[in-house]
Structure 1
Amino acid sequence: MSDLQKKQGSNMVAIITMCFIFAMISFVTNMGAPFGNIWGFTYPWAGMMGNMMNFAAYLFMGIPAGNMLVKYGYKKTALIALAVGVIGLAIQYLSSVFGADIKTFVYDGQVVALNLVIYLLGAFICGFCVCMLNTVVNPMLNILGGGGNRGNQFIQIGGTLNSLTGTLTPLLTGVLIGTVTKNTSMSDVSPLLFVGMAVFAISFFIIAKVHIPEPQAEIKEHVSITSPLKFRHCVLGVIAIFFYVGVEIGIPAQLNFYISNMDFEGAAAVGGSFAAAYWFLMMCGRFISSFISGAISTKVQMTTVSSVAIILLLTAIFLPETNTMSVPFINVECSIPTKCVLIALCGLCTSIMWGGIFNLAVEGLGKYTAPASGLFMTMVVGGGVMPLIQDSIAKSAGEIASYWLVIGMIAYILFYSVIGSKNVNKDIPVD
């Protein structure tokens, strides 16, 4: 076998491994919003707190994860992340068996039990895990694809699997809990936690055995974590990622809450199914993009989907709730406002945004790509901050009105796609 064939075979194993990790990121992350239905029944203010804790971890771990990537490499960083993930999921499981009768403090006029504190701690630790995994996966797939449109194509392939598991999480959660009542607890969704722990453990042993390319090992000089900030298109891309993750999480979360609060039997299951439909459409969009990205530029794709998403959400906001459609679900047939379908369709649009923004923002960074990934992961905290703000708007003005915030964030992404993504700092050496 020639050296070229060996290299190609090694790269293929690395690509498959990175795609596998990409899938697990979404499986764990997407537990936050549907689990929030359980805690939100007892603590109305806590509906999005698990999601917030998961993404808050990015703020603390993003830059350290980038430094780990430079110092220890892709493989060791991934292995550490998977071990941390098992610990985080195990702690979340403990919230189902311990602490319900132990009072801790009073918040918003309610006495908070220890089990909620344990759950939030577990969600925070899981955030460390997915932050490190994201830091590994995105630059590696982009590098293996050679950057440019091909790099974006590889990210979209991984994103397809990411969306598949993202589809399964809210769907399975909705089926497991059905309708949320005062008797619903984390023990009802413990099978998902056990599945997550098992997959993380298996992934750990698989990655420990495979060869992962370490391109940063060839860089002899020290590269500062702040070096990518010299590039305007990278800085604007970091901001775009902050807003994008808020969009990605906020759209299905509020759609889930909107339907789950409707007055019919099995509303939580239907809400979970619509959230799952959103993630399924994300999977479809990424699957399609993985085929066309070699021919259609990232910029064109991003401009198109951002514009369509704004149109869908504006139509959903202004469409009357009396405009409904019948939705059969298991043994229940219910009428759902048509706007719910339009909101779910946004999954086709948001599907390519993560990979597209990352691809545009690291284009031309060369040796600064690894530290740039750390900066990006720090700003993924937007997935906790912006949905929390959206949830506050939803509580005061209604779930549908909260989508005005989402439109504003997508408008910025449209600006970045058209104007902000241009590299105006090509004079900076990157070799």
Structure 2
Amino acid sequence: MNQTTHKSYALPIAMMFLLFFIISFVTGLQNPMGVIVKDQFSLNNYQSQLGNMANFLAYFFMGIPSGKLLRRIGYKKTALFALVMGFTGVLVMYLGGKTASFWIYLGGAFISGFTMCTLNTVVNPMLTVLGSKERANQRLNFGGACNSFGATIVPILGGVLMGNAAQKTISDADPLLFVAMGIFALVFVVLLFVQIPEPHIESKERLKIKDKYSALSFRHFRLGVIAIFIYVGTEVGIGSIANLYLTNSVEHGGLGIDPSLAGSIVGIYYLLMLVGRLLGGLLGGVVTSRQMLASVSGLGLLFVLIGIYAPDYMVKMPVVTSNLHFELADVHIGVAFLMLCGICISVMWPCTFNLATEGLGKYIAEGSGFFMTMVVGGGVLPMVQGAIADSFGYLDSYWLIVACMAYLLYYALIGSHNVNDNIPVE
């Protein structure tokens, strides 16, 4: 009986792994797209991050509604709805390239953000439901690895597609958009014809029940919501602004590096996030979330400060050229330390989530919706950092990241303690 169940869920589980991949793939598209639109539409650094902002702004509007949608219509219908929206969003981005319209592209990025938010709400609990409970954690870890892989390859592929083109356009990224639309279509067709368990659909009567307290009644949760906002903005900002810093001309404050090499360098940042998540999974049984968050935020703070103040010294880093050849390239040591932050960033989400929801009991589901809403930080903070870069320079913009790391360190050491344990949570 167990073998039958395993076989019957093998295909939808594989589709969930593809969704983990495509969530980071489509979200990460805004990284090379920032370089492209900056060049194509003659934008400044602040404006080049509007695509990120449009993508993540959707989380602010859809974070809580997506959780309610899941509880009302279930995993399958919510996932199918999100997949249609995802295909539509990427298609609109493609049309933005064909019409050379920055505003159509932004509309596609916003629609894509709705999709990523809804899919994020679906894939984690669905992987828990599909298959045996004993292997649920294993499936989630593999899904996280697929997510990191998508984030790693998209800046590399984006850089290769841009190559040495004198005038970069959105259409240069068409192959990446076709891959995204193809995966959305494939997963939609598969999920349409498979049966999915629906244990968490709630009746309308139950949804109407009011409670005296909420997740926001807990101080450590409120501070944790701010921490998630800051964490996501930090993760996106480090990579996005680094890509602009690497590719912008020397006379405009950048390093003037070929886009394909820059994409590979930023890809290392996301690759280190994959490595960090694997290490975090191994150490999770012996190191608490508080200890881990304090360690990585403190180390990340140190890495960023070194990145800002590092001397003019070059180190060798592995990169992929526009001809898809591997080689060692000279990279400024400060940039190398900024990329090392990937290993620190990697475990911040699970650590912060665990600390913020500790002791919440029945309010955890509600708290998850607030967390998804605060993913909007991935759009807000990189745009603020871009504005700082316009006014003071790329490296000085990383003082915003220093402040973010300092807050995460504070949250780990002080802000994450539950001081509202008198609130009933059963």
TM-score using structure 2 length: 0.86
**Alignment correspondent of 1:43:** 42
* Aligned counterpart in structure 1 of residue 313 of structure 2, from 312, 317, 323: 323
The verdict on how the C-alpha distance between 1:416 and 1:74 changes in structure 2, with shifts beyond 3 A counting, is farther
**Alignment correspondent of 1:365:** 360
Cα distance per residue 1:299-354 (max 9 Å; x no partner) = 2221111111011111111112x212255753787542111111111000100111
- Quick check: 263-272 or 25-34, which moved more? 263-272
Aligned residue-pair number: 410
For the Cα contact (< 8 Å) 1:154–1:290, is it kept in 2? no
For the Cα contact (< 8 Å) 1:231–1:424, is it kept in 2? yes
Cα distance in structure 1, aligned partners of 2:161 and 2:382: 24
For the Cα contact (< 8 Å) 1:261–1:267, is it kept in 2? no
TM superposition shift of 1:362: 2.4
Cα distance in structure 1, aligned partners of 2:410 and 2:136: 22
Cα distance in structure 2, aligned partners of 1:284 and 1:371: 31
Cα distance per residue 1:34-66 (max 9 Å; x no partner) = 111111013323311111110111111112112
The verdict on how the C-alpha distance between 1:265 and 1:353 changes in structure 2, with shifts beyond 3 A counting, is closer
* Aligned counterpart in structure 1 of residue 143 of structure 2, from 147, 158, 178: 158
**Alignment correspondent of 1:348:** 343
**Alignment correspondent of 1:91:** 92
**Alignment correspondent of 1:404:** 399
Cα distance in structure 2, aligned partners of 1:89 and 1:245: 22
Cα distance per residue 1:168-220 (max 9 Å; x no partner) = 111100000113533x2111110100100111111223334252453354997
Cα distance per residue 1:380-422 (max 9 Å; x no partner) = 1111110000011111111111111011111111222222222
TM superposition shift of 1:91: 0.5
The verdict on how the C-alpha distance between 1:374 and 1:143 changes in structure 2, with shifts beyond 3 A counting, is farther
For the Cα contact (< 8 Å) 2:296–2:345, is it kept in 1? yes
Read off the aligned partner of 2:173 and give its amino acid letter. Answer: V
TM superposition shift of 1:240: 0.8
Segments of structure 2 that go 5 or more residues without pairing to the other structure are: none
Cα distance in structure 1, aligned partners of 2:124 and 2:356: 12
Are 2:269 and 1:284 equivalent residues in the alignment?
no
**Alignment correspondent of 1:28:** 26
Cα distance in structure 1, aligned partners of 2:356 and 2:397: 28
For the Cα contact (< 8 Å) 2:28–2:155, is it kept in 1? yes
The verdict on how the C-alpha distance between 1:14 and 1:370 changes in structure 2, with shifts beyond 3 A counting, is farther
SS at match of 1:336: strand
TM superposition shift of 1:227: 2.4
TM superposition shift of 1:428: 3.0
Cα distance in structure 1, aligned partners of 2:239 and 2:7: 38
**Alignment correspondent of 1:65:** 66
Percent of pairs with identical residues = 43
For the Cα contact (< 8 Å) 2:128–2:136, is it kept in 1? yes
For the Cα contact (< 8 Å) 1:92–1:120, is it kept in 2? yes
For the Cα contact (< 8 Å) 2:246–2:256, is it kept in 1? no
For the Cα contact (< 8 Å) 1:19–1:158, is it kept in 2? yes
Are 2:378 and 1:378 equivalent residues in the alignment?
no
TM superposition shift of 1:423: 2.8
